[in-house]
Amino acid sequence: MAIKKEESDKFYQKMTRLAYRRRFPLKAMFELTYRCNFRCIHCYVVPDKNKKELTTEQVKGVLNQLKDDGCFHIGFTGGEPLVREDIFEILSYAKRNGFRISLLTNGFLVDKRAAVRIASLGTALNRVDISILGATKRTFERITQKEGGFERVLRSIKFLKDEGVDVQIKATLMKTNKDEFLKIKELAEKFNTMFRYSPTINPKTNGDKSPLRYQIGPEELYRLKQAIASGEKVINEGKLEGWNPEKMGRKNLFGCGAGSHEVSISPYGEMNLCLAIHYPEYNILEGSFKEGWERIKEFVKEFRPSKGYLCRDCVLAPFCSWCPARAWLLSGNLIRCSEPDRAAALVEAKHSPIWKKIAPIWEEQKNQRTEEPENYAYKQKRV
């Protein structure tokens, strides 16, 4: 008897809590390729032309190791994973080996036949995420630089929904689409899908900061986030519930699943903390997934931020979207405070009901700056 998706989701939530406590790799984000048929103006991915993508058999070998080490959920992403000619062979192999599968795609290559093949994954398929970066053809194609992309991506969502596939629409908020961002949300409502958005733009993985010119300012960002947040099918930041001055700040640097129950794997078979932090780039083909996981897990467990780590006691932490990945991409330093994130957090804090309580503390903290870390082992090499 097939397991209902609601039951599967509850089971996965329990497994996630267990994995976090026991520190085993329940989830892996697998970048199958950095190739893409879009050329999005804000994309942070930079392929390494000196490295080769994993072959079909190598991908299968990595999946075998993941299964043996307790991994249950695989998110296949890119680049655009559907540009790989072997994508459906990989998806079928993952299904046969009992993985829970998520597929992150731009949707351009999902025609009726592809939708049927994706749907054939059945209960092994958790969800398909599709990015909609504009509510109009003009804006969408200005961002993706793909002629004809808007109609094809909308059609792909219909094909998938017609086959009973759970689809989530994703979007990145930027200057180019801010005036129609609520319309993107309405598209998600029209298709009856969940809507997830990112309010931040990141530099490229090689340190190139040119995408940041598309980031909108903190005041406008706050207004749009408030407008977007209404609705049951929007997944966004949690709301602040109470405030305890004794628990102020962010004590744990890695508040996500990195090194506790999540890991990412590049198209070259390199294990990293996450999709944005390309460290330690442990090569599975030259070692093993088990050894790579132990190294990543140990790094996160033993990591101790230096005295320059401002987030530890920062009063703006509950309002801030900063994370080590943002710091890494912006500065090559896992602990460095991000001025754009700090500015956005300050705006949110000033609009909160507890601002009068925290304002005096902020006055004492606002001139602090991140010092260079004492341990340069976690600094990224910049181009």
The answer to whether 199 and 321 are in contact (CB under 8 A) is: yes
pLDDT score, position 4: 62
pLDDT score, position 233: 57
Per-residue pLDDT of the chain (383 residues; tens, 9 = 90+): 455 666 767 777 887 888 778 888 999 999 999 999 999 999 999 999 999 999 999 999 999 999 999 999 999 999 999 999 999 999 999 999 999 999 999 999 999 999 999 999 999 999 999 999 999 999 999 999 999 999 999 999 999 999 999 999 999 999 999 999 999 999 999 999 999 999 999 999 998 999 999 999 999 999 999 998 865 555 554 455 556 666 788 888 888 899 999 999 999 999 999 999 999 999 999 999 999 999 999 999 998 888 778 899 999 999 999 999 999 999 888 999 999 999 999 999 999 999 999 999 999 998 876 555 444 344 444 33
pLDDT score, position 341: 94
Identify the sign of the CA torsion 254, 260, 262, 263.
positive
Q: What are the domain boundaries of the chain?
A: 5-265, 306-383
Task: Report the top-level CATH class of 5-265.
Answer: alpha beta
pLDDT score, position 237: 47
pLDDT score, position 5: 61
pLDDT score, position 2: 53
pTM above 0.85, yes or no: yes
pLDDT score, position 380: 46
pLDDT score, position 382: 37
